[in-house]
A and B are shown apart, each in its own frame.
Chain A
C-alpha cells in the first residue's frame, strides 16, 4: 500500500473533460489507483466517482494504490495530474 499527497493545479478542477482524461490514463496503469479528497475516495478509472470528489484548483489529493506496481502507478498518475489541463 502506497500513498502520496499532492495539490491539484488544474484551473478548472476535476471537471468532465479532465476527469475523462484521468479515466483513460488510469485504465492503462498496472493496478487500481484511488484518489481521495475531503474524506471521499474515488477509483481513478471511474468518471462518476471522480466527479463526485468535487476537487477544485488547489484541492489536496491523496493518491493511493495497493498491489503489483503500486508505487509506479501512483507516481505515474501524480505526474499526469501535475500537467493536466482544463
Chain B
C-alpha cells in the first residue's frame, strides 16, 4: 500500500475504485527553422488547423459558456497574427504556435487575479487542439468508460470534461491544477471528489489498480490493504447516508423525539457568513461578532457605515439577529487605536469595560444598531458583563442614544431587546439578579471555561486543564439556565461547546433554549437532536451534574 498527500483538496468526498490513467498524446512542438519559400506552406497548415479547431468548438460553444470563451480565443487575431508573425520570422508552424501559447499564458499568469491566471489553462486547451491538427495526431479518443473508475491525469482541460462520461467517474486525481480551475468547479458541482497537485502520480499508478481517494483529508492510497479498504467503505457509506439525511432535514426544525424544540442559530463574523447561515438553515444568528467592522477599517467606523452593514445583515437574514457589541482589547487589537500593554490582557481593559469608558465609540455603535433594528429583528448583546451595574450603565447609554436619535428625527426601533453574554464567574453567581433585568442570556463557554478554571486557553501547557467538560463549568452552565428560566427569559449558548456532538445531549437535558454555532455544524446538530428524547436527556444531565471528575462526566456522555 502506498499513501500520498495532495497539495490541493479541490473537491470533498471519498472515492474507491480502479485507477484509470489518461495519458494525453505528446503535443510538444517539433522545432525547425524554415526557409523563406516554406513560409506560405506553414501558414496554410496553421490556418487549416485553426479552421478545424473553430469547427470543433462551434457546436460546443452553443452548449457551454466555457467553450464560448474557447471559441473566442480560437478566433482571436492576437493569437493567430502572433503565430503568423513568428512563421514569417522563420519558425515552423508548430514551434510558432507553442511559443505564442507560452507568451500568452505567461502574460495571463502574471496577472494578480487568481481566476485570470487559471485562464492560461483555457489558452493551452485551445492551442493543444490546434497543435493536434498540426501534428496530425488524433487527440486520444476519450476512454469509453464502462465501469466505475478513479481518473488520473496530468491535467484535465475543460474540453476533456465534456468528453468524459461522468456516470462512471468516482473521483479525479491530477498532477497540476488549482481549486479555482474550471475542472475543480465542475467537479464540486457534481459532488465528485478531486485531488490536485499530486506531482508524478502518473508514473506510479497502473491501469486497473485499486485506489482510494479521500478528498476530505487530501490523501490518496494506491493498492490499499484490506483493512484500509474496509475502513473507507464504511466511511463512504456513513458519509453518503449522512449527507442524504442532512439534506432532507435541512428545512425541518430541531425537535427531540418527545417534542422539545431547540433553536439552532449561527455564529457569524461578517456578511458572507450570513449567506452561509441562511443556506444551512439557521433559524437566526445567535452571535454576530461586530469586531470585523472595526478591524477591517482604518479608523473607528462611523454610525452610517455601521448602520448600513447591520441593516444589510438583517435584510439578508430576515430572522432574529443578535449582535454583540464591540468585544475588543485584551488580545484583540485595532490597527488605529493603541492599547497599552497589559500584564493580564484577558483580565484587562476589554469588551464592555472598554466601551463604557470610550462612551463616544460605544454610543456610535448603539445608535447604528437602534437605527438598523427598524429594518429587522436585531437584538443587542453586551459582552464580558460582571455586574448588574455594568448592564444598567450600558442600557442607560442606550436610552441616551434613543433620545438623541429622536431629537435628530431619525427612524429607529424603540423597543429593542438587550441581553448579555454570560462568560464570567461573576455573571454566573449573579445570574438570578441579572436575569430579572436582561431580556436574554447567551452563555459564552470559551471564555467562561477559561475564567472558571483559571486556565489560559491559549497556553499550550494548559490544554489538558482547559476543558469545558469539567464539572465546575457544567454546573455553572446549569445554574445559568435555571436562573434564566426562573425569570422567564431564554437562555442560549454561543461557545464552541454548543456545536459539540458530545455536549448537545447534555445541553438538551439541561433545558437550553438555543444553540448557536458555526453554520456548517448546524445540520449535524439538528440531526442529532431529532434522534434523542429530552426526557431521557434530563436524567442524563442529572447524573452528569452529580459527577465529580472530568473522567466521570465523559464516561456518562460516552466521549
Q: How many Å lie between the Cα of A15 and that of B115 in the bound state?
A: 8
> Which of the residues A13, A15, A19, A46 comes within 8 Å of B77, measured between beta carbons?
A46
Give A83 Cβ to nearest chain B Cβ, in Å: 18
Distance, CA A4 to CA B108, complexed state (A): 26
Task: Count chain A residues whose beta carbon lies closer than 8 angstroms to a beta carbon of B.
Answer: 18
Report the Cα distance A63→B132, complex, angstroms: 38
Question: Could you say which of A12, A16, A19, A52 contacts B111, with CB atoms under 8 Å apart?
Answer: A52
A43: nearest residue on chain B (CB-CB)?
Answer: B78
Task: Determine the chain A residues whose CB is within 8 A of the CB of B78 once the complex forms.
Answer: 43, 46, 48-49
**Chain B interface mostly:** helix
CB pair B123 A54 closer than 8 Å: no
Residues in A neighbouring B119, C-beta threshold 8 A: 16, 51
Interface string of A6-43 (1 = CB under 8 A from B): 00000011011101100110000000000000000001
B186 within 8 A of A: no
Instruction: Pick the most buried of A12, A23, A51: most chain B CB atoms within 10 A of its CB.
Output: A51
B72–A54 touching, CB < 8 Å: no
Residues of A within 8 A of B73 (CB): 47-48
118-148 of chain B: CB within 8 A of chain A: 119, 122-123
Question: Using Cβ atoms and an 8 Å threshold, which residues of chain B touch A46?
Answer: 76-78
From B72, B104, B116, A20 is in contact (CB under 8 Å) with B72
Tell me whether A54 and B77 are in contact (CB under 8 A). Answer: no
20 pairs from A and B in contact (CB 8 Å cutoff): A12-B115, A15-B116, A17-B69, A19-B72, A20-B69, A23-B72, A24-B72, A46-B77, A46-B78, A47-B72, A48-B73, A48-B76, A48-B78, A48-B79, A48-B123, A49-B76, A51-B111, A51-B116, A52-B108, A54-B116
- Name the 3 nearest CB pairs between A and B, nearest first: A47-B72, A16-B69, A54-B111
Interface residues of B (CB under 8 A from A): 65-66, 68-69, 72-73, 76-79, 104, 107-108, 111-113, 115-116, 119, 122-123
Known: A16-B65, A54-B116. 6 other contacts (CB 8 A): A16-B66, A16-B69, A20-B68, A48-B76, A49-B76, A52-B108
